[in-house]
Chains A and B, each alone.
Chain A
Amino acid sequence: QVQLQESGPGLVKPSETLTLTCNVSGGSISTYHWNWIRQPPGKGLEWIGYIYYSGSTNYNPSLKSRVTISVDPFKNQFSLRLNSVTPADTAMYYCARSSSVWDNWFDPWGQGTLVTVSS
C-alpha cells in the first residue's frame, strides 16, 4: 500500500524559505494529485495546493504568491517551497494523495512534520 513520508528542516528563520519533501513508497507517483496540507498548532486544516505527476499545479490563492510545489517522478517524490515565511507559517505540514484526479479527498496522509518559524 502507498505510504507517504515528509522530510525537511524543523526550524526556519523568518523571511527565509521553507522546503519540504514527501517521499512516496509502495506505489507510483504517476496519476493522482499529490497535496500539501498544513495545520497550525491547536488549529484547523488548510489546503496548500496539489501537483499532478505531469507537473500541473493548483494552489490555494491565499498562499499562491509564496508557494511552489514540484514533482520528481524518477525519485517518486514531490516537494513544497514556501517563501518569505513568518511565525504564522508555523504548523504541522502534511503531504497526502488525492483519491483520484476527479475527486480530491485525501488518503493516505503522511505522518506530518512540524515546522517552526523562529529566529
Chain B
Amino acid sequence: DIQMTQSPSSLSASVGDRVTITCRASQSISRYLNWYQQKPGKAPKVLIYATSSLQSGVPSRFSGSGSGTDFTLTIDSLQPEDFATYYCQQSYSTPLTFGGGTKVEIK
C-alpha cells in the first residue's frame, strides 16, 4: 500500500494568511494526487485533482503543486470559510489511500 503522510496535522492561522499543507507519498505517484476539504458533519469535497487542477467552482486562492512523492496545497489569503480539515489522496494505485488530515483552525 502507498502511505500518505500529511504535515502538519494541525495549524492555526489568521484570516488573510497564506497556508501551505504538505503531503508525502511512500513511493512515486507521478501526479495522481488529489486534495479534499471537509467541514464538520459534512462529506469531503474535492478541491484539486491531478496535483494542480482546480475543481469547478473552487476559488482560485486554492492551488496545488508537486510530483513524484512530494506535494503541497496552498491557500492564498485564508478566508473564514476555509477553516476545515484537508486531506490528500493518491489515485495512482489501489488500495486508494488518504493522508491523515490537516486541521486548519482560527488563530
- A residues apposed to B, CB below 8 Å: 44-47, 58, 60-62, 94, 96, 99, 103-107, 109-112
Interface of A is mostly: loop
Cross-chain contact A47 with B97 (CB below 8 angstroms) = yes
What's the nearest-Cβ distance from chain B to residue A44, in Å? 5
Cross-chain contact A109 with B45 (CB below 8 angstroms) = yes
Cross-chain contact A103 with B49 (CB below 8 angstroms) = yes
> Top 5 nearest A-B pairs by Cβ distance?
A109-B43, A105-B34, A47-B96, A60-B95, A104-B91
A-B contact pairs, 23 of them (CB 8 A): A44-B87, A44-B98, A44-B99, A44-B100, A47-B95, A47-B98, A58-B94, A60-B95, A60-B96, A94-B43, A94-B44, A99-B49, A103-B32, A103-B91, A104-B96, A105-B46, A105-B49, A105-B50, A105-B91, A107-B45, A107-B46, A109-B43, A109-B44
| CB closest chain-A residue, reference B55 | A107
What's the nearest-Cβ distance from chain A to residue B83, in Å? 17
What's the nearest-Cβ distance from chain A to residue B13, in Å? 21
- By a CB distance below 8 angstroms, the chain B residues around A105 are 34, 46, 49-50, 89, 91
What's the nearest-Cβ distance from chain A to residue B86, in Å? 11
Complex Cα gap A42–B34 (Å): 21
- By a CB distance below 8 angstroms, the chain A residues around B44 are 45, 94, 106, 109
Known: A45-B87, A58-B94, A105-B49. A110 touches B43 (CB 8 A): yes
Cross-chain contact B43 with A46 (CB below 8 angstroms) = no
What's the nearest-Cβ distance from chain A to residue B37, in Å? 12
